[in-house]
Amino acid sequence: MLTRLLIATAASLALSAQLLGEDAPPLPEDRQPQPVMVQLAYQFQVGQFMHYETESSSSMIIAVKEYKQSTRTSEQSKKHYRVVSVSDDGSAVLETVIDEAIMEVQGDDGKPVRFDSRDTGTPPKAFLTAKNKIGRAIRMRCKSNGTAIEVLSSSANGQQAEADASQATFLTVLPEAAIKLGDSWTDDFSVPVSMQLSEKRAIKKSVPIRRRYTLTKLDDGVATIEFRTYPLEVVHEPAVQVQLMQRWLTGHVKFDVKAGVQLEIQSSGSNVVHKAIGDSSSVQASATNFERYVASPQPSRKPAGPVGPIGPVEADAPGPAKLSAATR
């Protein structure tokens, strides 16, 4: 009898607690747990050199009826940027240089054509444009969130560079205000394309592109930012779709919040466009890209060439950025 009474009492108490829990009012707004806010910004310091290594590969298969042609490309490069000056608002003049590059192109099952900027001699014709970019310093002004304000000059001629800032930017664009996990922001830019109206007439236009970022993780001072890139207008012309197909990328960025350093960026994408060069045609393309920060770069086998005037660097100029514990 006593046992049954104890069991009934315990059950009654459990039910009362459940009912009280269901009917309990929510905590006042001022007592609700607040989300962790984080400010993402580059910590530019005068005289600082930031080194990166990149790897990329792409493939394209063109099919017209029974005819098929494939092309594969790969590239490895080393580059850096130097902080020339910093304004009171945190914006900075940056000087970017591609120090060296190794590129390879292979069509179908043919012999690969290779270019190594560290070698002397005239490169294959297909790589002349790439060779001219090695060692050429370009200066631009950027906000502390990575947005390019203007392109200032190129060491090739000391004149105003032709490329607009949206085309020349190389940093991930961060939000200007503090954000929390799950928040998103966008970076809009344009890509030039050409449309062939007839055999002798073509026009050029710009297609607006959006890159949408989302803060998905914050682990020991390192933010993981996922992104995807897509056109802001519907593109109906297959010939234009082909020019944009390798721009539709998804990927992620890792950013050291305290040091204000982009640690890595990885992206990939694939697409197929039909009727780009005829009713019975298709173009299939894929691309992968990876870039990582190098705190202590190894010296090159030999200089890649002059990098243009860089001016004096202060005696106490900062060295590699001090990274958060999780990234060392």
Q: What is the pLDDT of residues 219-267, one digit of tens each?
A: 999 999 999 999 998 888 888 898 888 888 999 999 999 999 999 999 9
CA 265, CA 225: separation in Å to the nearest integer? 9
**Could you report the per-residue pLDDT of 230-239, keeping only the tens digit for each?**
999 888 888 8
23 pLDDT band (50/70/90 cuts)?
Answer: low
Secondary structure class of 172 (helix, strand, coil): coil
Beta strand segments in 14-91, E:
49-64, 67-86
Helix residue ranges, H only, the chain: 2-23, 128-133, 165-168, 238-244
What is the rounded average pLDDT for all residues in the chain? Answer: 82
125, with CB counted inside 10 A (0-12, 13-18, 19+), is exposed
Q: What percent of the chain stands above pLDDT 70? A: 76
Flag whether 322 is in a domain.
no
Number of domains forming the structure of the chain = 1
> Would you state the pLDDT for residue 172?
95
Q: Which residues contact 285 (CB under 8 A, 6 or more apart)?
A: 58, 59, 60, 61, 242, 245, 246, 270, 271, 272
> Would you state the pLDDT for residue 319?
52
Flag whether 158 is in a domain.
yes
**Could you report the per-residue pLDDT of 108-137, keeping only the tens digit for each?**
878 889 999 998 888 888 888 888 889 999
Phi, psi of 309 (to 5 degrees): -65, 130
Flag whether 26 is in a domain.
no
276 pLDDT band (50/70/90 cuts)?
Answer: confident
> Would you state the pLDDT for residue 46?
96
pLDDT over threshold 70, residue 325: no
Flag whether 128 is in a domain.
yes
> Would you state the pLDDT for residue 223?
97
Taking residues 198-204, what's their average pLDDT?
78
Give the domain range for residue 238.
Answer: 49-306
25 pLDDT band (50/70/90 cuts)?
Answer: low
User: In CATH, what number is assigned to the domain containing residue 79?
Assistant: 2.30.230
**Could you report the per-residue pLDDT of 282-313, keeping only the tens digit for each?**
999 999 999 999 998 876 655 444 433 334 33
> Would you state the pLDDT for residue 309?
38
Report the run of H or E that residue 139 belongs to, with start and end: strand 138-142
Q: Which long-range contacts (CB under 8 A, 24 or more apart) does 65-72 make?
A: 65/280, 65/281, 69/107, 69/108, 70/107, 70/108, 71/105, 71/106, 71/107, 71/108, 72/105, 72/106, 72/107
> Would you state the pLDDT for residue 292?
97
Taking residues 190-210, what's their average pLDDT?
84
DSSP for 281-292? Answer: EEEEEEEEEEEE
pLDDT over threshold 90, residue 159: no
Flag whether 327 is in a domain.
no
pTM of the model: 0.79
Contact (Cβ atoms closer than 8 angstroms) between residue 61 and residue 68: yes
44 pLDDT band (50/70/90 cuts)?
Answer: very high
- DSSP character at residue 125: G
**Could you report the per-residue pLDDT of 160-189, keeping only the tens digit for each?**
444 566 666 789 999 999 999 999 999 998
Neighbours of 121 (CB within 10 A): 5
Flag whether 266 is in a domain.
yes
Flag whether 164 is in a domain.
yes
Flag whether 245 is in a domain.
yes
